[in-house]
Amino acid sequence: MTLRPDFDDAALTRAGRRLARDLGPAGPRPLPLAPPRRRGRSLRRTLAAAGAVALLSVLASERRLADPAPARGAFVPRYSAGSVAPPAWTEVAADRYRLAGADAGAGADAVASARTQAGLREDILTAGTFDVVEAPFLRLVATEAAGTDGEGSLFVVLARRAADAGGLAVVRTSERGQVESRLGAVETIDAVLGGTGGTRACTAFRVAGAPVRIDGWLCAPLGQLPEPRAVACAVDRLSALPGAVLPGAATALTARPARAACLPEEPATTAAVPAAAAGKAAPAGRIRKNAARVRRSREASP
């Protein structure tokens, strides 16, 4: 292969330089500019928006001038929901229930009251006074309802009952439990109730699954919580008045036999019988000790 005598590196360099001058400088070429937008359309939109805002401002001002000015510092809602008064209670004769065992030392001062409203009757039985901390206090409510709707948790029931009982309040609650009574299983919760005369430690209770709703609370003397047995025996005291006309389920409930655990204790003098039978005189100290135990047990009962 023969090469042209005039084709060398110098000639190639010159040819490249001429080509570069013809093509121009290397790099990205600028894009063509977009055509300018029309300013008339944007101006019309801006003016229309400003006119709408001005019109709304004028309408709002006229509305404020038309409404009556409220008193300074008082909030007057534009719309208010109509208040619905709670159903009114009607006081009736308390001729259905009583607290059994109301002898001279265990609740002779029991007070009974009853009230009704549509499909509902409540019999309220109380023994003692809440403000007298040296004595027990029992409040028991028996409710006959046409429906089967519940009243919520025991805490809710306690708060509502406490408010009904002279404006008492639930200060705090603690341990929950369950005991057995003559009327069925009893749900309990320990609580501290407060009123104008101070606070007391009590145990609230509610009979679960009974045909008659039974709830309330028992307070022991001197700031102590009542024993579970005392709570069960307090529920056992609910009975029907002689000759009272009760619903069939309530009659069967209150007619259940008494439990041996809640029967009245024997006199303290019987403690000396075994020693006397053996021909020995019982020590006087033992007799006094047994009498003191019985007396404290009776004082802790409602």
Q: What percent of the chain has pLDDT over 90?
A: 45
Helix (H) or strand (E) holding 270: none
Nearest to 142 by CA among 87, 202, 183, 105: 183
CA distances from 271 to 105, 186, 278, 289, 293 (A): 21, 34, 13, 10, 12
- Helix extents (H) in 130-247: 154-164, 228-236
Listed ranges 109-113, 179-183, 205-209; the one with the highest mean pLDDT: 179-183
CA distances from 196 to 105, 167, 172 (A): 27, 9, 16
- Does residue 45 carry a pLDDT above 50? yes
- What is the model's pLDDT at position 37? 63
Nearest to 265 by CA among 106, 99, 154: 106
Report, as an integer, the average pLDDT of 123-150.
90
SS3 label, residue 21: helix
- Does residue 166 carry a pLDDT above 80? yes
Report, as an integer, the average pLDDT of 104-133.
84
The DSSP symbol for 222 reads G
Distance of alpha carbon 119 from alpha carbon 260, whole angstroms: 36
Nearest to 180 by CA among 216, 218, 154, 207: 207
Range in 16-20, 192-196, 281-285 the model is least confident about: 281-285
Determine phi and psi for 48, rounding to 5 degrees: -65, -40
Q: With cut-offs at 50, 70 and 90, classify the pLDDT of residue 90.
A: very high
Report, as an integer, the average pLDDT of 143-147.
84
Helix (H) or strand (E) holding 221: none
Q: Contact, 218 vs 230, CB < 8 A?
A: yes
Q: What percent of the chain has pLDDT over 70?
A: 69
- What is the model's pLDDT at position 269? 42
Report, as an integer, the average pLDDT of 187-196.
95
- Does residue 260 carry a pLDDT above 60? yes
- What is the model's pLDDT at position 274? 44
Report, as an integer, the average pLDDT of 38-46.
75
Report, as an integer, the average pLDDT of 45-50.
85
Domain definitions of the chain by residue range: 90-259, 265-302
The CATH number that domain 90-259 falls under is 3.40.1000
- What is the model's pLDDT at position 239? 93
- Does residue 279 carry a pLDDT above 60? no
Is pLDDT larger for residue 30 or for residue 291? 30
Rounded to the nearest integer, the mean pLDDT of the chain is 79
